[in-house]
Amino acid sequence: METYQQSSPELSFNNKVLKSILLAGFVAGTLDLLSAFTVYCVFGPSTVEKLLQYIASGLYGADAFRGGTAMALAGTFFHYVFAFSWAFIYYIFTLYIPFARNNFVISGLIYGFFVWLFMNFVVVPNSSIAQPSTAPTFISRFISLSCILLFIGLPIAFIISRYYKRRS
C-alpha cells in the first residue's frame, strides 16, 4: 500500500517573510492614507488632522476630535496597525490558498473586497466612530471600495506574491 504525506502549510517568520509583511503593510497603509487625504482633504471638506482624528475616534469616540495632534498621531498609529494586520492576514491566507500566491491581481482584488466589507460592516459599526445620520451614497461607497481594492488589496497581494517568487 502506497502512502503519501499531505503537505501542510509552513508558518514561518524568517526575516524575508517579516520584511515582506512589513513592506506590504507600510505601502498599503501609506497608499490608503494618501487616497483618503486626496478624497477627503483635497476634494472634500476635511483636513489631514481631522481625518486622522476620525481614525482615532474608533477607539476614543468624540474625544478624539478635541485631542489635537496627539489624537492625529494615535489615528496614524491605528491606521498602520490595521494595514500591517491586513498584510499579515493575507500572508496567512497564502499559506492555505496557493491560488493567492500565484494570481496576485485576482486574489488582491478579492482580498480588497473582503477588507472593505469587514471594515465597513464590522469594524466601523462596532467602533466608537459616530455613525452618519444618512446612509452612504452609491458614489461614496464606490470610491471607498475602489480605494481599498487599489491601495490595500492589490499592493498587499503583489508584495506578498513577490516574497513567494523570490523564495522559489
| Model pLDDT for residues 94-112, shown as the tens digit of each residue | 999 999 999 999 999 999 9
Determine the pLDDT at residue 125: 93
Q: What is the per-residue DSSP string for 6-50? A: PP-------HHHHHHHHHHHHHHHHHHHHHHIIIIIISSS--HHH
Determine the pLDDT at residue 128: 95
Determine the pLDDT at residue 38: 96
Determine the pLDDT at residue 4: 35
3-state class (DSSP) for residue 76:
helix
Which of 129, 135, 143, 111 is CA-nearest to residue 75? Answer: 129
Determine the pLDDT at residue 89: 98
125 phi, psi to nearest 5 deg: -65, -25
Determine the pLDDT at residue 17: 93
Determine the pLDDT at residue 165: 85
Cell of 65: 476630535
Q: Using 50 as the pLDDT threshold, list the residues of the chain that sit under it.
A: 1-8
Determine the pLDDT at residue 168: 65
